[in-house]
Amino acid sequence: MYIGFSEAETFLRNCKDAVILTHRSPDGDCIGAGFGLKDILAELGVRSRVVCHDVFPARYDFITKADEEEDFEPQTVIAVDIADPQLMGRYEEIYGSRVQLCIDHHESNKNYAEMTLLREKATAACEVIYDLAQYMGVRVTRHCAMSLYTGIATDSGCFKYDCTTPRAHEIAAEMMKRYDINFAKINRVMFDIKSRGKMLLESKISGILEEYLDGRLAIIAVTQDMMREMGVKLEELEGFAPMTIQLETAEVGVLLRQREDGAFKCSFRSANDVNVSKICQALGGGGHAKAAGCTMSGDIDDIRAKITDIVRRALDNE
């Protein structure tokens, strides 16, 4: 059942001993939303614990290590930023079918909870939670503000992407006026810094980008041989697809990563108007208009030719 702020307030004010679920491969938004909500519940006198299938990455320590974990048997189950119970990982089996309240901003939310507070237009789940706290008149502590800012900033690419709402900017402005938080430091940690290994890998990966169709298509293809040579595993190349459309002329970018069985994982990105979801559907995959994927088998040169051909046609049809 979809609910509004009023029902969510009633629920939160009357719940006790809550477990707050976040999605696997946790990002700034689910972590910020989880711990931000925990702070809000604490203001209401409700104990809670944030859980995740994976360990929270160390760069979020300033959010996740704020206080001691309390031990209690959960009476209340809340999910934040989780569109589908499958994303709970090992917590799906325990809690997946008995989530009482889900707070989310994903259009694709499966409506799996008893009550779902969904704001599809919101930049981040953290934006929904901040607005809920304002609606309820609950005090937002400095730690809560830092957590929620982090989620809004990371999901919007630091206010860079299409999904950034005016409200996201307004919340940032309110927080800056009210709290003494080093926002620039949070942003540096979230966006700018990287390990030496990541820097070297980026350096190698961007060096092998290839241009096709007068630069309108960029392909980065990494075979198993190349991975062995670079000393890198397929999983470590996760997150490199956006690099393909950093090329100024690129309309479409594709990252090809060869699996051990020889087939290629293909991650498509669109810089402007080409719908890569349609392209990937035609190739047996799927996804979103600007980010989609599929798997292709065969010789790498044939795959390149096939991709070039289908992207050329998509560009012609624009």
- Extract the tokens encoding 34: 């989880």
Contact between 50 and 35 (Cβ < 8 Å):
yes
42 binds a copy of itself (CB under 8 A): no
Which stretch, 26-34, 43-51, 164-172, 229-237, contacts a copy of itself (CB under 8 A)?
164-172
All residues at 6 or more sequence positions from 184 whose CB lies less than 8 Å from its CB, including other chains: none
Which of 48, 123, 147, 164 is close enough to bind a copy of itself by CB under 8 A?
Answer: 164
93 binds a copy of itself (CB under 8 A): no
Which of 245, 280, 296, 303 is close enough to bind a copy of itself by CB under 8 A?
Answer: 245
Spatial strand order in the sheet of 291-296: 210-212, 217-222, 252-258, 264-270, 291-296, 286-287
199 binds a copy of itself (CB under 8 A): yes
- In angstroms, how far is the first alpha carbon of the chain from the final one? 40
Q: 61 vs 211, which CB is nearer to a copy of itself? A: 211
Positions in 253-292 near a copy of itself (CB under 8 A): 271-272
- Work out whether strand 101-104 and strand 210-212 pair parallel, antiparallel, or are unpaired: unpaired
Total site size for a copy of itself, rule CB under 8 A: 45
Contact between 244 and 220 (Cβ < 8 Å):
yes
| Closest separation in Å from C-beta 14 to a copy of itself | 34
Instruction: For residues 5 and 117, give the distance between their C-alpha atoms in angstroms, rounded to a whole number.
Output: 7
* Binding site residues, a copy of itself, CB under 8 A: 157-162, 164-167, 169-170, 172-174, 176-177, 183-185, 187-188, 191-196, 199-200, 202-204, 206-207, 209, 211, 215, 245-248, 250, 271-272
